[in-house]
Structure 1
């Protein structure tokens, strides 16, 4: 998680603007009313998390420092000075958390592996204690009938690699391939589905354009070189998995935002097309067509570090065939004729997130239309709501139920339109460290009382359990 600010994908990184202020996601009615919609048999109902956001145990069992350890401990970088040192303490409480997943009826669990827990400095022999933790987690999932879906990189780059240039350094992509190989060899076919790099666009936009994510830079020319190296890392990881001979699947995890012109003017249409290039095609095209979008490269210019950094053979590596695409949908973007953005729909507590369920349908059908019938999994979709624990020990998050219901209905419509959607994962399984906003936003189905680490199923968790049991809405 998560998509981060829905900022312009262009090099400026200016925030989206628009009229009004509506942060009430509970505007829906009859949130729990059934719709009579049934999903395909064996549909993979799941939930998602990431390592730094829930694990804690930041200094235990040989884990090294990550860029998010450094960033979150830097004064002024996160709200309230929050960090992930303890988070939801999942590292110590994973067995109880696995039982909660089983009780919810989850069929799939998407989690991430902490690179610095496997290689403290991002290179060299893997840390067996780190590998053992993920083996115990994976085995626990199988014991409960839940399919593991592991993400190799969810933003926690080892700090030692950042000190050597981070993702601006081409060598980091090769270090990532070595790390991936170590994890593949340790866990093997116990993980049936692997995801390579989570939301490379968010790393580019929030980490290198705006600077409010680790490593906290504001360098547009570096940002798109980083994009290329992240995509190269993806391709090298795919090759590493193929080299093992394991019969497991692999693909990227991309946050995709449908980009709409604000009106029918030629200027808005052209601006939305270029915006879409930076927002979506820059990451989809190299994987599925073996090329970067020409309009984006032209806009960056031949002297840009990205264009200069593309070497012969890179795009062949990046376009190594994948088995599936993980799509993460949070918000639409409306583009003006001058390349700015407007807000058209109510927002959640995350000011960048416009609540527009039809965008789910649009982005899923667009991917299938433009890139062919690649199997799709939705690996993140959700919103924060102002959750509080009542005196009775309950959490009533009606707004989240309405949001999920509407987006699942849109996903079902996409399936009916021919989209090969295999599974859906709510973001998130539990409340967690939400990056630069710390613990101020709650995205989970499960409420975490951080002082005690008590878990409480929210109303949305009980609702989602019923959806899974019924295999539909």
Structure 2
């Protein structure tokens, strides 16, 4: 790997470096300030759903400690902060009245970021649907897309000229498949047909929201954040190659094709019961809205084997604490691939909106020595630089995550943060990776000047 200065020099001068979080994972204050329950409140309080039997009631207490956390971002020397809004904090029922106390929290956060010259990147939906809407059918109810568009319009009207960007959804694949297909995530449904319909309603809500926000004539860039991966056949057998192509179609292309081509991929459609997949005639035109940016989240590749038992990858760089293969080269291959496939179809500039590693961090004295995370960051930064050199228009990178946090159904057992959180005292302690990242950004900014 190149040393820090050489690596920093591989990025264009205006490249944006930031960190990312999400509302339910860090905010806490679950019942304060007029906030109503979301599906994750309900799910995490259901016995057996979270590995350590925890919930997000307190999490990182960011609701009360946001100023401290903004100070950490500033001290890291970063340009940008990507966060999400708790929909049920600003609109408790997901429709109807707005909660001004909740709105004021985000106003204070955005102001604190502005005072430190940190650009605010807002995500409207990071999986925490108001429970009131779930009781009306949630994302299986087409009307939820209309409610989402009105929510987006209001947030854009209030904050759109104070934000660098607004993303409609974070990882709709997870909302659809993990929330409604396998039941691992809220709301905990296990119905593959429902998952397909939810994915369509999510995309529809995205298109409606982009239209509603465009009408506000705001300065914020508008886009969506998709989790993506390469799908690599374990062998060159016809069966493995076909299975890998289907995996790519049902994951990456399932969301990219409607946005950039105006239709779902035929390879994926061929395997579903279309009589139970309801799409109105005008839907695809609504979904296919021009975007200002595309957010790409990358953590691992899909390694596809049709053998019994299936082959597993060698994982030469090891596994993260989530059990995910560390495969940095998949990031550059993914980026170059989607650039080649969609560059003539309106593909906008790309931001890497999430990339990071869970490590079993140990607090030793007042230090956390996470050399594996530093190596992970270096390798993935190098792959982004490789994609830029190949002609992909990538304008920024947001590390996941600023803080250790509530890691969904893993509870507090997995730590992704640059900053260690003692969940009892709420102390924040910089890991070695945070110190390394600050040094890297300083070297990058020296080049920028």
TM-score bucket (shorter structure)? over 0.9
Gaps of 5+ in 2: none
Which residue of 325, 340, 357 maps to 1:383?
357
Q: Secondary structure at the match of 2:248?
A: helix
Q: What is the root-mean-square deviation of aligned Cα atoms in Å?
A: 1.6
Quote the offset at 1:125 in angstroms.
Answer: 2.2
Aligned residue number for residue 289 of structure 2: 320
Aligned residue number for residue 244 of structure 2: 272
Aligned residue number for residue 326 of structure 2: 355
Q: Secondary structure at the match of 2:296?
A: strand
2:36 is the alignment partner of 1:64: yes
In structure 1, how many angstroms separate the alpha carbons of the residues matched to 2:110 and 2:307? 49
Quote the offset at 1:302 in angstroms.
Answer: 2.2
Q: Any conservation in 1 of the 2:297–2:355 contact (CA below 8 Å)?
A: yes
Q: Deviation per CA, 1:355-381, whole angstroms, max 9, x where unpaired?
A: 000001011111111111520000100
Q: Structure 1 residues 31, 429: CA separation in 2 closer, same or farther (over 3 Å shift)?
A: farther
Aligned residue number for residue 248 of structure 1: 220
Q: Any conservation in 2 of the 1:209–1:220 contact (CA below 8 Å)?
A: yes
Quote the offset at 1:73 in angstroms.
Answer: 0.3
Quote the offset at 1:162 in angstroms.
Answer: 0.5
Q: Any conservation in 1 of the 2:25–2:59 contact (CA below 8 Å)?
A: yes
Q: Any conservation in 1 of the 2:38–2:88 contact (CA below 8 Å)?
A: yes
Q: Structure 1 residues 36, 441: CA separation in 2 closer, same or farther (over 3 Å shift)?
A: closer
Q: Deviation per CA, 1:227-285, whole angstroms, max 9, x where unpaired?
A: 00011111111001111111321111000010011111222211111111111100111
Aligned residue number for residue 137 of structure 2: 165
In structure 2, how many angstroms separate the alpha carbons of the residues matched to 1:78 and 1:422? 36
**TM-score, normalised by the number of residues in structure 1:** 0.90
In structure 2, how many angstroms separate the alpha carbons of the residues matched to 1:200 and 1:446? 27
Aligned residue number for residue 142 of structure 1: 114
Moved segments of 4+, more than 2 Å: 30-37, 336-343
Aligned residue number for residue 340 of structure 2: 369
Q: Any conservation in 2 of the 1:270–1:337 contact (CA below 8 Å)?
A: no
**TM-score, normalised by the number of residues in structure 2:** 0.95
Give the number of equivalent residue pairs. Answer: 439
Structure scoring higher RCO (CA < 8 A, sep ≥ 6) equals 1
Which residue of 448, 455, 466 maps to 2:428?
455
Which residue of 254, 269, 272 maps to 1:282?
254
Which residue of 167, 174, 178 maps to 1:202?
174
In structure 1, how many angstroms separate the alpha carbons of the residues matched to 2:256 and 2:85? 23
Q: Any conservation in 2 of the 1:271–1:338 contact (CA below 8 Å)?
A: no
